[in-house]
Amino acid sequence: MNAHALEFSQAFNYTDLARYGRGVFLEVTLVANSHMTPTLRVRVDSAASFCVLGRQWADVLALDWEAGDPVTIGTATGTFSAYRHDITIRLLDYEWTAGIAFAEWDTTPPSQARDVLGLTGFFDHFLVAIDDLSETIYLDPRF
């Protein structure tokens, strides 16, 4: 068997809120049009093709929702509409610009699961390892 060693420059522990929601979370702030969201904990989801956020965040960022690239997102139970916009994401010491899909719905509890960092826009920017046993996510940016 071959061993593989990977190195990560950042570790983020999500233990403190684990009792309020099962998931792997990271803290991000979104920036666009000189507007900034509060800091959000969004779910890390390698099963999601895109980063998807509730529409209320598009409004906080003063985005013209329907001026983005239209996309239909499929789920296990159906589809919903979203528009993708290029925005800046800040995470720890890093920032990058990515096309984020803002859904037709607001993030309505108990659906923090709907605010997710997915493959395009997140996993294609970072090497990621999750140690869920110790509730820690390891990251290394792809500069």
Chain residues in the site for another protein (CB under 8 A)? 16-17, 19-23, 27-29, 35-41, 43, 54, 56, 59-60, 68-69, 75-76, 84-86, 90-100, 106-110, 112-113, 120, 124-126, 141-143
Smaller CB separation from another protein, 73 or 99: 99
User: DSSP string covering 49-116, please?
Assistant: SB-EE-HHHHHHTT--GGGSEEEEEE-SS-EEEEEEEEEEEEETTEEEEEEEEEESS---TT-GGGSE
Smaller CB separation from another protein, 59 or 131: 59
By CB atoms closer than 10 A (0-12, 13-18, 19+), residue 117 is buried
CB of 30 to another protein, least distance (A): 10
Smaller CB separation from another protein, 8 or 90: 90
